Amino acid sequence: MADLKYVGTSVKRRDGVDKVTGAAEFIDDRFLGPLLYVKMKKSTVAHGKIKKLDISKAQAHPGVKVVLTGKDYPNKIGLYLVDRDFVAMEKVRFFGEPVAIVAAVSERAAAEAVELIEVEYEELPGVFDPREGMKPGSPLVHENLEEYERVPIFYPVPGTNISNHFKLRKGDVEKGFAEADLIVERDFQLPQMQHVPIETHKAAAHWTPGGKLTVWSTAQSPNVVRQLLAKTFEMPMQNIRIISSYIGGGFGGKAGASLEGLVIPVAMKFPGYVVKIVFNREEDMQGTFTRQGLYSHLKTGVRKDGRITALEYKMIWDGGAYTEYGVNIVRAAGYTSTGAYDIPNVKTDSYCVYTNNSIGGPVRGFGMCEMQWGIERQMEEIAKELKMDPLELRLINGMKDGSTTAAGQVVHNVAFDKCLKTVADKIGWGKTEGKFRGKGISGLVKCPAQPSNASSSAIIRINEDGSAHVMVGATEMGQGMLTAISQIAAEGLNIPIEKIDIKVPDTDFTPYEWQSVGSRITYTCGNSVKMAAADAMGQIYKVAANLLGVPVEDLTFDGKMVYSTKDSNIKATIREVADSCKKCTGEGIAGPIIGRGSFIPSNMTNLDPETGQGNPGMFYCFGATAAEVEVDPETGVITVLQLASSLDVGKAVNPQLCHVQLHGGTIMGLSTALYEEVKFDKGVMLNRNFTDYKISSIDNTPHIDSFLIETPEEKGPYGVRGIGEQPMIGVAPAIANAVCNALDIDVNTFPLTPERVWQAIKAKR
């Protein structure tokens, strides 16, 4: 690749000054007004029919403008499966589900009015364990599942709580197990966890009498929000405007659409008002997406030389009360169900099951953390049985160039070996000194979970002074989109980054972006920006050629001037090009330069409904994590002595920010490994605040060593792959493997709280 000037340099974040001065506008910082404040009346049972709902006292409360109930939100919403009510209709399906909406002129009036709403429920038997939920005769969370509209790649089982059964059959597992010298199998399980971004979910809506709807939202994906709202509220898309702000952390929890719909019917009744809803921390934890719980059974067959011959994975996911998004996590986990390992014979069944727990949905990793937990723990057990080095076992089975995934997709340009060896070397694999110390390693892989028609686009407008506006539909939630995309644009236009303006999206102005999820934006949005830059450059050269009277091939651009390579006196400024006239006659040649780029992946296919075979991955990202721990055997407290993360990012557009992302994702992974679990009691989330849902803080975060590996992905811009989610995936297994090696114990779940470790030690004795 030619020497790059902007891509590959660690430029400082473009949103830096805004963020360190507090000037960065998040949704709740914008001046919006006049305001109506919305608060929810929330259900106090997890599953129940609404027998009585009396809103009259609330309606009469001073300051209240309107009280709405389920009938005011007649249409369901859903990205992959249209199953979700904004406000409960005849029954509630989870604790905290909205049963009524109050809009008032002050927060206080709205909160007081909520207290005046009287509700009575007839409690229904609830489903709280998806394994029970799958059984015949289980109470049904969604009686009308078969009537729900859905994207055809999801397969609900009518008359049950199973909203998606993903099947994968590769090769012949029976034959594969027959070839094995050793078969290892066990159960794994994982609790829910929650993103807990520091900024909770917020939205606001404004309606004009002329029928224009404006929505501000913390959503990661304004275009999908617009699309879903257009469908649900039966409005034409051009009349819906979604405005983004900086997002205070997304991690998948702000993907799709969530609370925006609640405020729209209110806005329509009160044109001119901005109707705002803010979830407090407890509402955010209980009432927005939660990572699905998982019960799984994994069986692996392996030859004594270490080669895995067969894998059978059954995954039962606690999808919660609505699985409009969760069905795809179940699918993604299914088609990636061999993790980073090349296994010829695979049988996977991945079930999304409704329960009356909180709504399951996308969380960083999108099923990979949960699914690969089982894979990476079972690798340890296999290594132990075979008396083989766990690293060696992974190197034998790890994917290489030409390997096939569980879905049968062929992967190329794979440096998984290098990822593993890098972190293993860093922590001094093979030597452990000290009692109660141990080392552990884990591989990881992820491709973006997206439909094969998920596209991106970009518009680049060149200003008269040669600066540029780059317009994309991707959002900035901390991952550095504004900076990375600027760098890609700068590279393509050969103008310094400071001359590029880029903002967070406004769907009235920015072009389509499917979603800012899946660790896909630098790749897809980046591709569209690269295309737009090339398009702009093409126009510049064409116009300049006409203006200067030389062939296009002779021209080059140094960021300020277009000039002929054959005679540098033949030149023109961008200004002259952008509003160009023939020098002698004054006749106009061309007007402003507008570059356009539109990208859709060409290497993906649908999957066979019976075998799950096909090409679901736009690109694959491999990596590894290694850890050294010391455990206090009396208390179970784990001290992390070393933690190393590697990732093949294809191309590090901004090396500094890539390391930062690697650290951040590793820390979030560590937090889930040691502290995070949602505790439900019959659907009530007991620990829905930071007092009892603990996450990593600075004083229990060790130093992280991060390694970027760059094996170019040929279809990515400048070789880019992805980075946002991957660093999380290998952490919990690496930590657990280290802990189990330190004490010769076994665990099949995490978080590894001190008590859980102590229980595992006791169980061993």
Partner 1 sequence: MTKKITINFTVNGDRETREAIVGQTLLKFIREELNLKGTKEGCEIGECGACTVLLDGKPVNSCLVLAVELDGKELTTIEGLSKNGELDKLQQAFIDHAAFQCGYCTPGMIMASKALLQRKPNPTDQDINEALSGNLCRCGAYQEIREAIKASTKK
Partner 2 sequence: MLTYDYVKCENLKQAFEQLKSGEQVFPLAGGTDLMVGMRGGKFAPRLLVDIKGLEELQVLKEDDAGITIGAAVTLNQVALFEPIIKHAAPLAEGAHSVGSYAIRNRATLAGNICNASPAADTAAPLYSLAAVINLVGPEQKRSMPIEEFFIGPGKTALKKGELVHSVLIPKPYPQGKGTYIKASRTGSVDLSTVGVAVQSWGDRVRIAVGAVAPTPVRALQVEKAINEGGEKDWAKAASLVHEDISPITDLRGSREYRYHIAEVLIRRGLEQTMGV
Q: Which residues are catalytic?
A: 725
Smallest separation, CB 753 to partner 2 (Å): 6
Smallest separation, CB 674 to partner 1 (Å): 13
Residue 251 site contact among partner 2, partner 1, none (CB < 5 to 8 Å, cut-off depends on kind): partner 1
Q: Which is nearer to partner 2, 565 or 635 (CB)?
A: 635
- The enclosing H or E element of 623 equals strand 621-631
Q: Which is nearer to partner 2, 280 or 603 (CB)?
A: 280
Q: Which is nearer to partner 2, 548 or 743 (CB)?
A: 743
753 binds partner 2 (CB under 8 A): yes
538 binds partner 1 (CB under 8 A): no
| Residue list 656-675, contact with partner 2 (CB under 8 A) | 674-675
Counting Cα atoms < 13 Å in the Cβ hemisphere of 455 gives 10
Tell me the residue type at 557. Answer: F
Taking residues 632 to 661 in sequence order and writing x for each that binds partner 2 by CB under 8 A, - otherwise, the string is: --xx-x------------------------
Residue 663 site contact among partner 1, partner 2, none (CB < 5 to 8 Å, cut-off depends on kind): partner 1
Count of residues making up the chain = 765
CA distance linking residue 212 with residue 203, whole number of Å: 17
Residue 635 site contact among partner 2, partner 1, none (CB < 5 to 8 Å, cut-off depends on kind): partner 2
Q: Which is nearer to partner 1, 2 or 698 (CB)?
A: 698
CA torsion angle for 113, 118, 124, 128 (degrees, to 10)? 20
Q: Which is nearer to partner 1, 405 or 522 (CB)?
A: 522
Smallest separation, CB 364 to partner 1 (Å): 10
Residue 370 site contact among partner 1, partner 2, none (CB < 5 to 8 Å, cut-off depends on kind): none
CA distance linking residue 742 with residue 637, whole number of Å: 12
Residues paired with residue 607 on neighbouring β-strands, in sequence order: 614
| Residue list 700-739, contact with partner 1 (CB under 8 A) | 701, 703-704
83, 113, 85, 84: which is closest to 101 by C-alpha?
113
Contact 225, 39 (CB under 8 A): no
Smallest separation, CB 634 to partner 2 (Å): 5
Residue 198 site contact among partner 1, partner 2, none (CB < 5 to 8 Å, cut-off depends on kind): partner 1
Q: Which is nearer to partner 2, 90 or 692 (CB)?
A: 692
Given its phi and psi angles, is residue 129 left (phi above 0), alpha (psi -120 to 50 degrees) or beta?
A: beta
Residues touching partner 1: how many (CB under 8 A)?
57
Query: Near partner 2 by CB under 8 A, which window of 85-93, 500-508, 542-550, 684-692?
Result: 684-692
377, 407, 324: which is closest to 190 by C-alpha?
377
DSSP 3-state of 414: coil
CA distance linking residue 352 with residue 166, whole number of Å: 8
Residue 656 site contact among partner 2, partner 1, none (CB < 5 to 8 Å, cut-off depends on kind): partner 1
Contact 596, 532 (CB under 8 A): yes
Among 118, 565, 690, 755, binds partner 1 (CB under 8 A): 690
Residue 664 site contact among partner 1, partner 2, none (CB < 5 to 8 Å, cut-off depends on kind): partner 1
149 binds partner 2 (CB under 8 A): no
442, 474, 445, 479: which is closest to 459 by C-alpha?
474
Q: Which is nearer to partner 2, 432 or 753 (CB)?
A: 753
111 binds partner 2 (CB under 8 A): yes
232, 91, 223, 27: which is closest to 149 by C-alpha?
232
DSSP 607: B
72, 142, 65: which is closest to 100 by C-alpha?
72
Q: Which is nearer to partner 2, 146 or 634 (CB)?
A: 634
CA distance linking residue 296 with residue 318, whole number of Å: 11
Smallest separation, CB 502 to partner 1 (Å): 16
Given its phi and psi angles, is residue 612 left (phi above 0), alpha (psi -120 to 50 degrees) or beta?
A: left
DSSP 3-state of 37: strand
Spell 380-402 as b/e; 16+ CB within 10 A means b: bbbbbebebebbebbbbbbbeee
754 binds partner 2 (CB under 8 A): yes
Contact 307, 379 (CB under 8 A): no
277 binds partner 1 (CB under 8 A): no
Smallest separation, CB 26 to partner 1 (Å): 6
652, 620, 618, 641: which is closest to 725 by C-alpha?
620
The radius of gyration computed from the CA coordinates of the chain, to the nearest angstrom, equals: 27
Among 25, 425, 558, 567, binds partner 1 (CB under 8 A): 25
Cβ count within 10 A of residue 707: 19
687 binds partner 2 (CB under 8 A): yes
763 binds partner 2 (CB under 8 A): no
Residue 478 site contact among partner 1, partner 2, none (CB < 5 to 8 Å, cut-off depends on kind): partner 1
Q: What are phi and psi of 502, to 5 degrees?
A: -145, 140
- Beta-sheet strand order (sheet of 561-564): 555-557, 561-564, 571-573
Which residue in the block uniquely carries the two structure tokens 């096909």? Answer: 614
639 binds partner 1 (CB under 8 A): no
Smallest separation, CB 678 to partner 2 (Å): 11
DSSP 3-state of 392: helix
Terminal Cα-to-Cα distance of the chain (whole angstroms): 59
CA distance linking residue 253 with residue 362, whole number of Å: 6
Residue 666 site contact among partner 1, partner 2, none (CB < 5 to 8 Å, cut-off depends on kind): partner 1
112 binds partner 2 (CB under 8 A): yes
Q: Which is nearer to partner 2, 471 or 674 (CB)?
A: 674
Q: Which is nearer to partner 2, 112 or 476 (CB)?
A: 112
Smallest separation, CB 684 to partner 2 (Å): 12
CA torsion angle for 255, 33, 266, 237 (degrees, to 10)? -50
198 binds partner 2 (CB under 8 A): no
Binding site for partner 1 (CB under 8 A): 12-13, 15-26, 28-29, 108, 195-200, 246-251, 280-281, 477-480, 656-657, 660-661, 663-668, 671, 689-691, 695-699, 701, 703-704
Residue ranges binding partner 2 (CB under 8 A): 107-108, 111-112, 634-635, 637, 674-675, 679, 686-687, 691-692, 694, 697, 699-700, 753-755, 758-759
